[in-house]
Structure 1
């Protein structure tokens, strides 16, 4: 819709959370088309941060199938971290708290923490290595 177009036109980048369900994959293909069109016509600086699989249930075959298909079609875009379906994540908003405050030991909170570290690692400066032919400094 118009709100999505406006948001993507103003954004530097977009992070795509994707529920590990069939219909979410259909929505993803439309969102990829939309972001591509906006990048081409309205915001050439728009970048895709990546795809974060959410509400993943390892007991459900469909979650595994969705993950496999998404990783196959977007091999460089899917984060390694997967956010599990977790009741503590669902409860936190009803208590007016972020999940990490509500229950930092829950599997969902831990997964979001791991994801934050994975995302931040992309932006940490790489340590500079001294070249063998560079002059030594004292």
Structure 2
């Protein structure tokens, strides 16, 4: 039995009904992650702006290479997403600098900043947009959505509209 292909069989039945199917996996590199990579056209790699982030990135890139060579020849890296960013911390800025210098165009322009509301939303069973659409975290994710749409040529965004601005800094 092809246990790595279970998710692909299910998604293949419905994927033509959607522009995107997003699969959010835990950071482990177990069977569920391998299933998700096998079922996907591309992968967004989240990298926390924290101490061990680059070590985890290396392990995930290795897993992606294995999946590309054995299970999903068409799997591409959509981009690397920097998360948990705090501009007050030197380490956060160092991780951003190192990832951008090493991976260049693969890194999304949008950075997901550390935000209390992002941590609260799941405890209420809500997305960040439902929980507080004006929060910094919500705006970061809306900007990421626009960036992904634009990268995939699904929208035309005027330069002046590229980023949603936070009107009232909190």
Instruction: Output the TM-score relative to the length of structure 2.
Output: 0.70
Deviation track 1:7-52 (CA, whole Å, cap 9, x = no partner) reads 2122211111111112121010111111112112221110111111
- Distance (Å, rounded) in 2 between the aligned partners of 1:125 and 1:6: 27
Partner of 2:143: 114
Matches for 1:23-102 after TM superposition, within 5 Å: 23-102=52-131
- In the aligned structure 1, how far is the partner of 2:138 from the partner of 2:43? 22
Q: Is the 8 A contact 2:149 2:155 kept in 1?
A: no
Structure 2 unaligned residues grouped into runs of 5+: 1-29, 157-170
Q: Which one scores higher on RCO, CA 8 angstroms, separation ≥ 6?
A: 1
| CA 1:47–1:95: 2 relative to 1, 3 Å | same
- Give the whole-Å Cα distance in 2 for the aligned partners of 1:88 and 1:3: 28
What is the CA–CA distance in structure 1 between the aligned matches of 2:79 and 2:63, rounded to whole Å? 15
**1:9 aligned onto 2:38:** yes
1:131 maps to none
CA distance in 1, matches of 2:140, 2:82: 11
Q: 1:76: how far off?
A: 1.5
Bigger radius of gyration among the two: 1
Unaligned runs of 5+ in 1: 128-138
Count of residue correspondences: 127
Report the aligned-residue RMSD. 1.5
- Corresponding residue for 1:133? none
